[in-house]
Copies of this chain bind each other. A is one copy, B any other.
């Protein structure tokens, strides 16, 4: 992370809570939830452990806050797409397919929310509810769009597309661009075509 004067200046104007979340998200993404400790996060955020614990009672609470923020960002992106393609849900669906692919290509570390579900083995971890909620919201958005686009079996199409995109992200991590993750767009388009057009 740059420590130049401009960065420092911007950083000093960002409140500590936001700064810690931003830094933690970056480090968790790169090294995994268990691959980085609160000391390293506090230091990289230009603060100290006491401040971190004042804002977040524990590392687990910080993880939950990071995933909540990731979910908020994703929801905002959906809102923007839905506003842009309000009159053309089928185009929105195809747009989503392209964007999901771009995410996989740009970022071989996969989805932070799904990765968290792998790393968090405790059933009562505070992030568990956040993970389930964000993933359920994502799937329900897809289902609404599939319904709006008039697909005959919109619920199953939304399930299939959700599984495909989850699979693409995780497969990219295992096999890289040589694997089936790189054929996500073709697979998703084939499924959309198979589910047919509007109800008659």
**Which A residues contact B (CB, under 8 angstroms)?**
30-32, 34-35, 109-110, 113-115, 117-119, 121, 131-132, 135-136, 139, 153, 156, 158-160, 162-171, 173-176, 178-181, 183-184, 186-187, 190-191, 193-195
Complex CA–CA separation, A160 to B176 (angstroms): 16
Q: A130: shortest Cβ distance to chain B, in Å?
A: 10
Complex CA–CA separation, A34 to B119 (angstroms): 8
- Tell which of B163, B186, B195 touches A167, judged by Cβ atoms closer than 8 Å: B163
Q: A79: shortest Cβ distance to chain B, in Å?
A: 22
Q: A33: shortest Cβ distance to chain B, in Å?
A: 9
- Tell which of B34, B136, B183 touches A35, judged by Cβ atoms closer than 8 Å: B34
By the criterion CB–CB under 8 Å, are B118 and A179 in contact? no
By the criterion CB–CB under 8 Å, are B180 and A171 in contact? no
A178 neighbours in B (Cβ, 8 Å) = 136
| Closest chain B residue to A35, Cβ basis | B121
Interface-centre pick from A109, A158, A164 (highest chain B CB count, 10 A): A164
Complex CA–CA separation, A166 to B175 (angstroms): 12
Complex CA–CA separation, A159 to B195 (angstroms): 18
